[in-house]
Structure 1
Amino acid sequence: MRVTSDFFVSALMRRVFGDGGFAAVMRKGAAEAGAVFIVIRGREGDSTLLGPAPQSGYDEERPGGRQFVVIAEKLEEDGLAARIAREARFDPDVWFVELDTPRPPEDLLDVMTP
């Protein structure tokens, strides 16, 4: 069974804070089933955007887990804001969570590689 978006985001933020990192909800979506996007802030001011993996990529052994895929890398602030606005127009239930953590995203999330 898949946990709610609200629960997933809360647990992720606790893990990041527990590691001495920073996490913030940039845009709160639907508590039960909103899609979750992750923004990883880089040290040079750019960002990497992770989004939900396509349904075809889900592993049958772990049907309840959330998987992510890299959507864009080295996004400047304007490009990130435009992407957030575009996703919110498409799906008003979407979440955006910003992470600044010493750990790589693969240690915190299930990130698929193409």
Structure 2
Amino acid sequence: MKVLLIAALLALPVSSQAAAPKSALDRCLDSPAGGSTMGQIQCIGDAVAIQDARLNKNYAKAMKGLTLEQQASLRAAQRAWIAFKQADCQSLQDDAWGTMSRVTANMCVLDRTTERADELANYPDR
């Protein structure tokens, strides 16, 4: 009986299954403002601001309780990460590739910032 129920559920069209809620970024990109390159960049910029604030909060939390030497190591790692993020994402933007390369580069900044915020949130406990 359970096998039949599971098989029936798997056979349902995707549209009848519960959809994941859209993120603020997705809602912005789906709005009329998100229909232009500049609108997309603005939507992504708003999401970057949220993730950057999260990153800064997690960085401050990670720094608490560290020795001066450990703080220096984390600070050096963070500075290296910033340089990497900038170089990596700038490499994706070139006017010869069209205006969408700006969107791609900005998405890179969002992705890298989100990843780093997550890493810092999981920084080892002291």
TM-score, with structure 2 as normaliser: 0.24
Q: Which structure is higher in helix share?
A: 2
Q: Higher relative contact order at CA 8 Å, sep ≥6: structure 1 or structure 2?
A: 1
TM-score between both structures, scaled by the size of structure 1:
0.26
Larger strand fraction of residues: 1
